[in-house]
Amino acid sequence: MSTAIPGPDGRLRCPWGLSTADYVDYHDTEWGRPVHGDDALYERLCLEAFQSGLSWITILRRREGFRRAFADFRIAKVAAFTDEDAARLLTDESIIRNRAKIQATIANARVLADWAPGELDELIWSYAPDPATRPAPRTLADVPPVTDESTALSKALKKRGLRFIGPTTAYALMQACGLVDDHLADCVARGSRTP
């Protein structure tokens, strides 16, 4: 059933948000809260792509390594990465050393570097569903892995030249960046998203 469960402080949380101290902090202070800004959204796009096939805790615990390796996810800086930078990243143990994901991260920065300021933010947020159409999930089984909006967002990003952003990754991005509020109905963090 996986309904909200009490944490050490007695407050109800989504079950996944209690499995480690890292998750408690991420769940309570970041996941599901609105993220704006091209560089900030680019970081989340990249991290969600790196997470594909792995557990989120693996990415979360390497987040600072990713930030160092990818110039704090500054689009303009990553767009200027060379083949030597890509080779360096393949030896960097502080990140996930996946050639296809590293290449996609750099290629996506090069695509985004040609966009107008705020264009990525505007595009991503244009796919946020009306919160009134989404009932609060009561259990984890009520949370979908993909939605019509995430499928449409994935298609729009791919059409514009971005890689490694399928509908499931797009939905994880929407959840993480507050486009949707998938905290369970009884979760203490439910409603932390502001429209």
62: its two tokens: 């390497």
Distance CA 126, CA 149 (A): 10
Q: Answer yes or no: 16 catalytic.
A: no
Name the catalytic one among 23, 31, 42, 48. Answer: 48
Q: Answer yes or no: 48 catalytic.
A: yes
Q: Is 28 helix (H, G, I), strand (E, B) or coil?
A: helix
Name the catalytic one among 26, 31, 42, 127. Answer: 26
Q: Is 13 helix (H, G, I), strand (E, B) or coil?
A: strand
DSSP codes joined into one string, 168-187: HHHHHHHHHTTSS--S-TT-
Name the catalytic one among 16, 30, 56, 115. Answer: 56
- Secondary structure percentages of the chain, helix, strand, coil, to 5: 55, 0, 45
Asked if residues 107 and 49 have their Cβ atoms less than 8 Å apart, the reply is no
Which residues does the annotation mark as catalytic? 26, 48, 56
